[in-house]
């Protein structure tokens, strides 16, 4: 990252001339702190790469992920097929690239569902308190009491296998900790003077929730959701492995690993390649989450 000295000085000065300047300054400081952490930076790089691969899958993949060719079944990795071929002669590399789409789709969809639910339930319970808090938290407790993979299994089995149902099943098991986190954060801010000041100025409850409480809870929730991405991917892969997630012939990393299991001794790449991909991406999301915690969490640093 090369920045011209003039721009750098403009970004670093605290003598702001506009609201945009102030925001640019904040963003630049965060970026400096984030980029000084090589592990987090590596995590971000992998996640960005994953997103690029998923977005550009038709161009990145060499072969059609669905094209079967029995004459080329179970070939080991070579120049033509970088990660070999599977039992139906499909190119594993191309399927891995298209599988990135499925993986990212599930992870993002679950996060988009879980984030708002966690925010609304947690912030409402924490801010309003009383019986609202009791009811919402007991419901959360009920969901927390189920073992998550088993609950996801049950939902997938009940709703029928498929990606959308896997997403719903995973979302159902992941929102309670987020709601708890938001509630705990809300409780710490609820009695603070700046919230009372807003109340005494006549701010309405939705205004206080969305302008005061939510922005303050957002950093820890974003961190939590980023860290959750890894477990979402693992759960999705687990459901896929058990045949309850993506259905064949759709490429999905968990399902790919499961199919390769039958040929584990003869064709190790069928299981190892998607397995390594799951490992790298989960690790990257965890590292990114840790890095974000360093820059976003007000309890770390100034």
Partner 1 sequence: MIEVKDLHVTFGTNHVVRGVDMTVSEGECFGLVGESGCGKSTVLGAIAGRVKRWQGSISAAEADLRPERRTLAQLRLQQMVFQDPFGSLHPRHTIGRALSEPLEIHGIPDREARIEQALDRVGLPRRFRFRYPHQLSGGQRQRVAIARALILEPKVLLLDEPTSALDVSIQAEILNLLKDLRQQQGLTYVLVSHDMAVVTHLSDRIAVMQDGTFVEVAPRAAMISGDLAHPYTRMLREGSLGYRPTEKEAL
Residues that bind partner 1 (CB under 8 A): 14-19, 21-22, 26, 192-194, 196-204, 207, 211-212, 215-216, 298, 302
Minimum separation from the CB atom of position 119 to partner 1 (A): 16
CB of 204 to partner 1, least distance (A): 8
What is the DSSP secondary-structure string of 120-172? Answer: HHHHHHHHH-HHHHHHHHHHHHHHHHS-HHHHHHHHHHHH-SSHHHHHHHHHH
What is the signed CA dihedral for 192, 198, 203, 207, rounded to 10 degrees?
-60
* Closer residue to partner 1 in complex, CB, 113/203: 203
Contacts of 185-191 with C-beta under 8 Å, sequence gap 24+, read 185/122, 185/126, 185/213, 185/216, 185/217, 185/220, 186/122, 186/123, 186/125, 186/126, 186/127, 186/213, 186/217, 187/126, 189/213, 189/216, 189/217, 190/126, 190/127, 190/129
Q: How far is the CB of 217 from partner 1 (least distance, A)?
A: 11
Q: Name the residue nearer to partner 1 (CB basis): 153 or 190.
A: 190
User: Nearer to partner 1 by C-beta: 187 or 203?
Assistant: 203
As measured in angstroms, the least distance from the Cβ of 201 to partner 1 is 4
Tokens of 148: 């998550």
In the complex, least distance from residue 9 CB atom to partner 1, rounded to whole angstroms? 17
Pick between residue 22 and residue 55 the one whose CB is nearest to partner 1: 22
Distance (Å, rounded) from C-alpha 44 to C-alpha 36? 13
Best CA proximity match to 74, nearest among 265, 256, 274, 266: 266
The residue (of 150 and 194) whose beta carbon lies closer to partner 1 is: 194
Measured from the CB atom, the residue of 192 and 262 that comes closer to partner 1 is 192
CB of residue 120 vs partner 1: minimum separation in angstroms?
20
């Amino acid at each position: 990252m090369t920045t011209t000295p003039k721009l750098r000085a403009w970004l670093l000065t605290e003598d702001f001339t506009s609201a945009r300047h102030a925001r640019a300054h904040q963003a630049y400081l965060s970026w400096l702190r984030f980029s000084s952490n090589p592990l987090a930076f590596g995590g971000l790089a992998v996640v960005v790469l994953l997103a690029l691969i998923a977005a550009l899958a038709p161009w990145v993949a060499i072969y059609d992920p669905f094209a079967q060719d029995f004459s080329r079944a179970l070939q080991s990795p070579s120049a033509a097929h970088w990660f070999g071929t599977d039992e139906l002669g499909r190119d594993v590399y191309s399927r891995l690239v298209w599988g990135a789409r499925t993986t990212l789709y599930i992870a993002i969809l679950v996060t988009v569902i879980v984030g708002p639910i966690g925010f609304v339930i947690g912030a409402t319970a924490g801010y309003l308190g009383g019986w609202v808090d009791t009811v919402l938290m007991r419901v959360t407790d009920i969901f927390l009491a189920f073992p998550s993979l088993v609950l996801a299994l049950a939902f997938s089995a009940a709703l029928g296998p498929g990606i959308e149902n896997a997403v719903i099943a995973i979302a159902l098991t992941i929102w309670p900790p987020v709601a708890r986190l938001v509630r705990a954060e809300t409780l710490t801010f609820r009695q603070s003077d700046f919230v009372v000041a807003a109340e005494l100025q006549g701010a309405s409850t939705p205004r206080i929730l969305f302008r005061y409480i939510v922005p303050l809870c957002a950093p820890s929730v974003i961190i939590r959701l980023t860290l959750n991405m890894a477990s979402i991917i693992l759960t999705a892969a687990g459901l896929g492995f058990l045949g309850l997630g993506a259905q064949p012939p759709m490429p999905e990393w968990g399902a790919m690993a499961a199919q390769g299991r039958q040929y584990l001794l003869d064709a190790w790449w069928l299981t190892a390649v998607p397995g390594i991909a799951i490992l790298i991406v989960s690790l990257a999301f965890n590292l990114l989450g840790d890095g974000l915690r360093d820059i976003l969490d007000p309890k770390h640093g100034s």
